[in-house]
Amino acid sequence: MPEHRHQAQGRRTDGVYVPEAPTHSRERPTPPSGEDVATPGQVAALAAAMPERLRIAVPLAAWCAMRIGEVLGLQRRDLDHLDDAARATLHVRRQFNVKAGRLTPPKVGSTRSVALPAFLLTDLRTHLDTHTGPEPEAAVLATRRGRVSQTALDNAWRVARTEAGLPRFRFHDLRHTGLTVYAQQGATLAELLHRGGHTDVTVALRYQHATAERDRALTTRLNKIVTDG
């Protein structure tokens, strides 16, 4: 829910401080602009434009609502039941922290386990078989020399987004895309908080705005069908 900030004010009368009623200023969550939300087809085009060993990063960031550091910190052991769509799960347990130059716990309150979409499982299994070491701690995004760096991922991303016709689309916008689509399916605020690893309700509320927009669009279509019929 929106946050309210209280600013205490007062005055002195005959040497006695008399507080006045606090003033309220409401901070509203900024809704998605539309420019930071891609279509499923555009997400697929962005993935196709990435180098093969980095391609899986795109749908993971979008459809599992992962931050770039969480994608880089993902290990083989964080992916469970990839042969069973009803139980397939991704665990966010760590991130690659660029400032620290090492793996660290994710942002406070961001540790979570989320369901993997069935359409992603075949690509995930293929990626793990082809590009990820057999050890449980093996990085999902890896080269022969070790973990893929954020610099390498950023460089590949800039090329891919230009080839896909989205030259200003940020990697973090994939996460916005996934959470917006998730909200449009009717996710509750609690479900959005969990899927995105949010602790700030106002951040999650921006995606519920997308639900309101979707409701308005569907109502407009309903109106057309009824009035034209």
Residues with a catalytic annotation lie at: 67, 172, 175, 198, 207
Q: Judge whether 204 and 198 are in contact, CB under 8 Å.
A: yes
Question: What's phi and psi for 3, nearest 5 deg?
Answer: -90, 145
DSSP structural state of residue 75? B
Tell the burial category of 24 from Cβ atoms under 10 Å away from its Cβ (0-12, 13-18, 19+). exposed
Q: Are the beta carbons of 72 and 153 closer than 8 angstroms?
A: yes
Which ranges in the chain belong to alpha helices (H)?
40-48, 57-63, 68-72, 121-131, 150-163, 172-184, 189-196, 201-228
Q: Which is it for the CA torsion 119, 142, 49, 129, positive or negative?
A: negative
Those residues with Cβ within 8 angstroms of residue 101's Cβ, 6 or more apart along the chain or in another chain: none
Q: 178 and 47 in contact (C-beta within 8 Å)?
A: no
